[in-house]
Amino acid sequence: MNLSTKIFLAGHRGMVGSSILRLLNSQGFEDVITENRNTLDLKDTAAVELFFKNHKPEIVILAAAKVGGIQANIDAPVDFLLENLMIQNNVITSAFKYNVKKFLFLGSSCIYPSNANQPIKEDQLLTGTLEPTNEGYAIAKIAGIKLLNYYSRQFNFKSISLLPCNLYGTNDHFDLKVAHVLSSLVKKFSDAVTEGASSITLWGTGIAKREFMHVDDMAKAVLLFMQNDFEVEVLNIGWGNDISIKDLAEKIALLTNYKGIINWDSTKPNGMLKKCLDVSKASSLGFQPSILLEEGILKTIQEYRKLQSNIS
């Protein structure tokens, strides 16, 4: 591929998609196609097929998905399963029909079994029971990965699925119903400081461990594996180390200058207790994230506070 290759980036307004778009633009890619929801509903089979027929992209990056936090997934599993299945099926089948040269699919580490061995290797996919709190979303993502695998094996359709650890960063939602873990904590502690709150209550017990990577590092991974052809179908993307939610909360409290008490609501779910990826395969292929956790947290705090000052 070269800078004039026609690329369709689906989901360019989301946290991951917008980061990918910024990187593609900065690298000088000249023909990146994006569509808003009001001009292209990816759940509409006919509309998606017409789009591919008219535009005929050479590369597709599918960053579009219905996403949300633990409570949103618990409340609306039908929505998370069905909407993501529709988006994936439409985009993948049309991409194949209209001869896309390479398809890059963004999955999630939540597709692994809740009792997976740690750190989690790619071959543990479909070896156990999923975490119940986001099962609908996970099943949809697994279906997307397997559909691409089958297209590859049956028709030699070139694709790769990247499975990131927990992401955070620029252009994340700070709505607590849909925000990612780290951004949710940044909002809660920042708001507590602004409001002069003496205590804050967080979900779970804090013992769950998660691996965090800034979204701009994820965009670099997308660019690397879009530009290069490796004989791999599924690939973990992350740092390969994790931190407890309790330690993360205390770190964010320190960086936001929160001085109050942190309470934990043990009636709320922790989710999967440990989820750390084995990233040795991605590392061997040349990917290494660079934005350290404290640096990324500080950047996210600054972005949230700037957003709040603009609103006020």
CB 109 within 8 A of CB 282: no
Which residue's structure tokens are 């179908």?
233
- 112 carries an active-site annotation: no
Closest to 234 in 3D by CA, of 148, 122, 98:
122
Q: Are strands 59-62 and 102-106 parallel, antiparallel or unpaired?
A: parallel
d(CA 65, CA 93): 16
**Burial code of 4-38, b = ≥16 C-beta within 10 A, e = fewer?**
ebbbbbbbbebbbbbbbbbbbeeeebeebbbbeee
CB 108 within 8 A of CB 234: no
d(CA 291, CA 193): 26
Closest to 113 in 3D by CA, of 279, 268, 273:
273
Which is the catalytic residue, given 137, 151, 168, 258? 137
CB 255 within 8 A of CB 209: no
Number of CB atoms found within 10 A of residue 93's CB:
16
H or E stretch covering 237: strand 234-237
Provide the annotated active-site residues: 137
